[in-house]
Amino acid sequence: MTAALDESLSGDLATMAKAGTLKTFRHITGPMDTEVTMAEKSGPVLVLSSNNYLGLADHPDVIEAGRKALKDYGAGTASVRFICGTFSIHEDIETSLARLSHTEAALTYVSCWTANTGLIPAITNESDALVSDELNHASLIDGCRAAKAKRHVYKHADMADLDAKLDAVKGARRIFIVTDGVFSMEGDIAPLPDIIALAKKHGASIILDDSHGTGVMGTHGRGTAEHFGVEGQIDIITGTLGKALGGAAGGYVAGSKTVIDYLMQVSRPQLFSNALPATIAASAGKAIDILNNEPQRVARLHEITRNLRAGLKARGFKPLEGESAIVPIIVGDTAFAIKMSQALLAEGIFITGFGYPVVPEGAARLRIQACATLTDAQIDFALKTFEKVGKQLGVI
Ligand SMILES: *Cc1c(COP(=O)(O)O)cnc(C)c1O
């Protein structure tokens, strides 16, 4: 039985290998930072594809907060929240997350994936409708698929199509518009003011996953809603603690007290899966404190992103336009993107190529992500190396 399964799966793996689309894991031997050490390579490597937007993953205060929580609370709750699994540090971080999100309340999950898939099926049934952007993150897609509601997908950021799809679900008990704040593969942002207007017109609520927006967008890094000046106008915001907010893991749903009270009763991961580990509740809580106290980190992140984008354009690259900290360069097919990322690694830059099925075939890309703690010298080195490799491979 097992031999037959292995043989069948090996065939699939061989097909991927032949197409040049196999992903390889690199083994990092120290903390995530702008430079890391790698088991496969001698000397430091510059990281340009991490979600560590604010450089907090190995910030001394973030590490210390995690260490202290481990000492004070041990490894974890050994329980789900409602049985005997809520520590006071869970309440602390949920208060901080609600304040950051401009909502009444928040609830943590072990990941944003779990938050999305624990949220959407919990608040919908057959009488409801979900209208979702076609480029939404896989966890929103899976959350919608797991729901019993009618599902409609609108063309990416296309407000006329969203309007039409909302028209088509008229009469549903609850209607939700579901969207990423910052789209992870394109680096563009959802047109929130227009989405809010359509939500009002059709009596819909908005679910916004701001995993790539929190800590990044807006002057204070409060997210895509702050960027547009529409804080307090989004019904439900979900996000991750695994990107700008410390980079460990963990996610949350932020919304009205009623939404959160309801999720505490019925969201399945809340009822059947362990609470966020104490170390992460504390280290991510500290990361939020740093974000609140040091808006200059966000300003520097914005400056670095502008410089990277301008520098790439000056060297003949055509990065996708956008205002987030994600700067994608489309290079063609999957195998070529992987080849270019290998060539960059040989020169000391760690940036993963993305191809099918993460993005459509033919639109494979290198996704550069800025980090607030990159130095000007590191940015210079990155741009020079991109130019060298881009010329070698005929991209520019
Ligand atoms: C990264 C990401 C997630 C997943 O976050 P985890 O906490 O790692 O599960 C969910 N949604 C979006 C939009 C993301 O970018």
Which DSSP helix (H) or strand (E) runs through 150? strand 150-154
Other Cβ atoms closer than 10 A to 127: 12
Q: Is 212 a catalytic residue?
A: yes
pLDDT digits (tens, 9 = 90+) for 222-279: 999 999 999 999 999 999 999 999 999 999 999 999 999 999 999 999 999 999 999 9
The yes-or-no answer on residue 201 being catalytic is no
The alpha helices in 234-375, defined as continuous H runs, are 257-266, 268-272, 278-293, 295-314, 334-346
- DSSP letter at 217 equals S
Measured at the CA of 366, the angle between CA 305 and CA 357, to 5 degrees, comes to: 130
Domains in the chain and their CATH numbers?
Answer: 20-49+295-392 (3.90.1150.10), 60-293 (3.40.640.10)
Please identify, by atom number, the ligand 1 atom nearest to the C-alpha of residue 111: 7
pLDDT band at 24 (very low <50, low <70, confident <90, very high): confident
Structure-block tokens of residue 297:
């980190």
Residue 340, token pair as written in the block: 């270019």
Separation CA 253–CA 208 (nearest Å): 10
- Check whether 172 has a pLDDT greater than 90: yes
What end-to-end distance do the CA atoms of the chain give, in Å?
51
Nearest CA to ligand 1 atom 1: 211
How many C-beta atoms surround the C-beta of residue 254 within 10 A? 29
**19 pLDDT exceeds 90?**
no
Pocket test for ligand 1, best of 49, 237, 240, 280 (most atoms within 8 A of CB): 240
Residues whose CB falls within 8 Å of the CB of residue 215, separated by 6 or more in sequence, listed in order: 53, 54, 221, 223, 243, 244, 245, 287, 291, 298
Measured in Å, residue 326 CA sits from the centre of ligand 1 at: 14
Question: Binning pLDDT at 50, 70 and 90, where does residue 23 land?
Answer: confident
184 is catalytic: yes
Contact indicator for 190, 334 with CB cutoff of 8 Å:
no
Set 111, 132, 184, 283: catalytic member: 184
